[in-house]
Amino acid sequence: MRLFFVVGPSGVGKDTLLSGAIAADPALHWARRAITRPESAGGEPFEGVTEAEFSNRLARGDFALHWDAHGLSYGVPHTELPLGRDVLLNGSRAAIAQALAAFPGLRIIHITAPVPVLAERLLGRGRESRDQIEARLIRADQPLHAAVPVIEIANDTTPEAGVARLLQALRA
Ligand SMILES: Nc1ncnc2c1ncn2[C@@H]1O[C@H](COP(=O)(O)OP(=O)(O)O)[C@@H](O)[C@H]1O
Ligand SMILES: O=P(O)(O)OC[C@H]1O[C@H](OP(=O)(O)OP(=O)(O)O)[C@H](O)[C@@H]1O
Would you write out the chain's pLDDT as a tens digit for each of its 172 residues?
899 999 999 999 999 999 999 999 999 999 999 999 999 988 899 999 999 999 999 999 999 999 999 999 999 999 999 989 999 999 999 999 999 999 999 999 999 999 999 999 999 999 999 999 999 999 999 888 777 899 999 999 999 999 999 999 999 8
Please determine, for the modelled complex, whether the ipTM score is greater than 0.85.
yes
What sections of 9-129 are H helices per DSSP?
14-24, 51-60, 96-102, 115-125
3-state helix, strand, coil in the chain (%, to 5): 40, 25, 35
124 CB within 6 A, ligand 1: yes
pLDDT recorded at residue 143? 87
> Distances from the Cα of 60 to the Cαs of 34, 41, 95, in angstroms?
14, 27, 21
pTM over 0.90: yes
Count of positions (residues) in the chain: 172
pLDDT recorded at residue 99? 96
pLDDT recorded at residue 126? 93
Q: Whose CA is nearest to atom 14 of ligand 2?
A: 10
Q: How far is the CA of 73 from the centre of ligand 2 (A)?
A: 10
7 is in an annotated binding site: no
How many CB atoms neighbour CB 52 within 10 A? Answer: 9
Residue 45 sits in which domain range? 3-171
For the chain, what is the domain count? Answer: 1
pLDDT recorded at residue 43? 86
pLDDT recorded at residue 172? 86
Distance in angstroms (rounded) separating the CA atoms of residues 112 and 62? 31
Q: How far is the CA of 25 from the centre of ligand 1 (A)?
A: 20
Q: Whose CA is nearest to atom 25 of ligand 1?
A: 125
- CATH number for the domain spanning 165: value is 3.40.50.300
Output the ligand 2 site: residues, CB below 6 A.
Answer: 7, 10-11, 14-15, 69-70, 74, 90-94, 136, 139, 142
Helix axes 14-24, 159-171, angle to 10 degrees: 60
